[in-house]
Amino acid sequence: MKPIKHYSTRMALAVMFSTLFVSTAIAEEGWLVDFEKAKAQAAKEGKPILMEFTGSDWCPPCKALHKNVLAKDIFKKEMPKHYILLKLDSPRDKSKTTDAEKAQYKELSAEYKVRGVPSIFLTDAEGKPFFSNSGYSGQSADEWVEQMVGKSRIPKALAKAEKAKGIERAKLLDTALTLMGSKFANESHGEKIDEIIKLDAKNKAGLKVKYEGARKAVAFKEMLTELTRGNGAGKPEALAAKIDALVKKEKATGESLQQALFLKSSIMFQAKKKDEAKKLLIEAQKAAPKSDTAKRIDQILKQYFGDKSAT
């Protein structure tokens, strides 16, 4: 029995040393791997949490995000000022994570309905999300960090709104939802949109029209999705004509028109009609220049068309 006990002791020490080494490495990078610890730290420091769901050793976009953004000095310097960082990894090499981390990933990915990696969730100290984003579209570290730092203002805007009334409350809610982006706001904060429309019933602040328009854009996007379903093998010109007909029928403007033009551009790009695709992208950007899609278009123009003048 003594040799076994001696061996077990050595193994326990080795495991403890290994765990200590890994924890130190994670701490040096500024990331936590335990959700409960992240929430406790967030509450203590009065910061929101930035959660990254990733597949560090098999997912190409995850690797690109890490190389181009998360490993850069500007991220390491700026992001800890605004967020508690939590990495939730599901690597192919299961020896890279503990059993507890595997179980945690399974539970949280289900809770937050993660459909793919990388996925970023910004949450308050209790873990309630106020923004999410999936994938990586090639932003520079500067652009990515600037965007996320801007989103860190959302909890404060929501907190201020809780203390306000009337049109002032509507404006503060608008500030928060605008920072969230129309997609996340519509999917997760429908009750706040209802309240804004009610508080600005006469559209004195322009918010009633803004949010009714945003809801129409969501409905229009569903129409576009239905229109394109099952048309993958069709001629691009025929599908583009159907989109034009829908735009005319629904009298689409703003973000709705932008969505239609963006989709047409994608169709033309896949059909190798690059010049036409670029022209449609520029038109789409002009249709709603302050939208999240407009920012994506800026990146696409730079990445796929080499347009250095894109703004």
The pLDDT of 221-248, averaged and rounded, is 86
Residues 175 and 206 in one domain: yes
> What type of residue sits at position 216?
K
Residues 14 and 139 in one domain: yes
Residues 169 and 249 in one domain: no
Residues 119 and 249 in one domain: no
* Residue 290 DSSP class: T
The answer to whether residue 254 is domain-embedded is: yes
Residues 148 and 42 in one domain: yes
Which pLDDT score is estimated for 11?
37
Which pLDDT score is estimated for 309?
55
DSSP alpha helix (H) spans, the chain:
2-29, 35-45, 60-65, 73-82, 99-111, 141-151, 154-163, 166-180, 182-188, 190-199, 207-228, 236-250, 254-270, 274-287, 292-305
Which pLDDT score is estimated for 296?
86
More confident residue, 117 or 94: 117
The lowest-confidence range among 38-42, 229-233, 238-242 is 229-233
Residues 97 and 236 in one domain: no
- 130 and 48 Cβ atoms separated by less than 8 Å: yes
Residues 166 and 147 in one domain: no
Q: Band of the pLDDT at 26, cuts 50, 70, 90?
A: very low
What is the total count of domains within the chain?
A: 3
Which pLDDT score is estimated for 181?
85
Alpha carbons 299 and 308: distance in angstroms, whole number: 10
The answer to whether residue 224 is domain-embedded is: no
The answer to whether residue 225 is domain-embedded is: no
Tokens of 123: 């949450």
Residues 200 and 275 in one domain: no
CA–CA distances in Å: residue 78 to residues 63, 118, 133? 20, 20, 19
Q: Which domain holds residue 240?
A: 230-311
Residues 136 and 32 in one domain: yes
Residues 148 and 182 in one domain: no
Residues 177 and 236 in one domain: no
Residues 133 and 168 in one domain: no
| Phi, then psi, of 73 in degrees rounded to 5 | -60, -40
- The overall average pLDDT reported for the chain is 88
Over its C-alpha atoms, the chain yields an Rg (Å, rounded) of 23
Digit-coded pLDDT (tens) for 161-176:
999 999 999 999 999 9
Which pLDDT score is estimated for 237?
87
Alpha carbons 302 and 2: distance in angstroms, whole number: 68
Q: Band of the pLDDT at 21, cuts 50, 70, 90?
A: very low
